[in-house]
Chain A
Amino acid sequence: TQLLEQSPQFLSIQEGENLTVYCNSSSVFSSLQWYRQEPGEGPVLLVTVVTGGEVKKLKRLTFQFGDARKDSSLHITAAQPGDTGLYLCAGGLRGGGNKLTFGTGTQLKVEL
């Protein structure tokens, strides 16, 4: 059973387009993180959100944590080829101890 479902699974867009990646669950998370992973490397943290309804902006990336803390979204404005990579959401389950539950991943490709 996958606790965190991401959509879409694959996304191929042109440079300059906007996109949104979704991370959904039926479980409540105490915190949620977004990571980006490039081929041959480990994931790198982009942001951590902890409050329901929280919105964080990181340059062209906007992250939102759902009011009920069961879902999150990542919006990229004016995508660039450097944004290409595997985007992973990961959450700390309430009562789940200290480990992160990772989402299924969204593979993004931004072409010139």
Chain B
Amino acid sequence: GAGVSQSPSNKVTEKGKDVELRCDPISGHTALYWYRQSLGQGLEFLIYFQGNSAPDKSGLPSDRFSAERTGGSVSTLTIQRTQQEDSAVYLCASSLGQGAIYEQYFGPGTRLTVT
């Protein structure tokens, strides 16, 4: 079956521009996560959606970052007025259940470069 897909795979943008990153989770997965990964480093949690509950936004680094999940499926992460420190790989993951014990299935990521 289809895994988690993300688009675009690469995005180069100028400082100050807005970007939108898209995530298509595995069908039927109720939980969706966004992470940020700097080169060769661990993952930094950004935001978590579970069903119709209010998202956990505790990891968003500033108010320039926002995300939504429409119809409980596709999610979009938006970064406004991008800065060079926003350059990283943005990973999306989905899981069947609610809780850290459930396996998270990751997409290939979007590599964002802010020039």
Interface string of B86-109 (1 = CB under 8 A from A): 000001010000111101111111
Chain A residues within an 8 Å CB radius of B93: 42
Assembly CA distance A50 to B31 (angstroms) = 20
A-B contact count (CB 8 A): 73
Chain A residues within an 8 Å CB radius of B91: 42-43
A104 within 8 A of B: yes
Chain B residues within an 8 Å CB radius of A65: none
Chain A residues within an 8 Å CB radius of B58: 99
Chain A residues within an 8 Å CB radius of B50: 98
Chain B residues within an 8 Å CB radius of A90: 43
Q: Which of A42, A44, A92, A102 contacts B99 (CB 8 A)?
A: A92
Contact B101 A99 (CB under 8 A): no
Contact B101 A97 (CB under 8 A): no
Contact A99 B42 (CB under 8 A): no
Contact B40 A107 (CB under 8 A): yes
Contact B108 A98 (CB under 8 A): no
With both chains docked as a complex, state the minimum distance between the C-beta of A63 and any C-beta of chain B, in angstroms: 15
Q: Give B contacts to A, CB under 8 Å.
A: 4, 31, 33, 35, 40-45, 48, 50, 56, 58-59, 91, 93, 98-101, 103-109
Q: Give A contacts to B, CB under 8 Å.
A: 4, 6, 30-31, 33, 40-45, 48, 50, 86, 88, 90-93, 96-105, 107
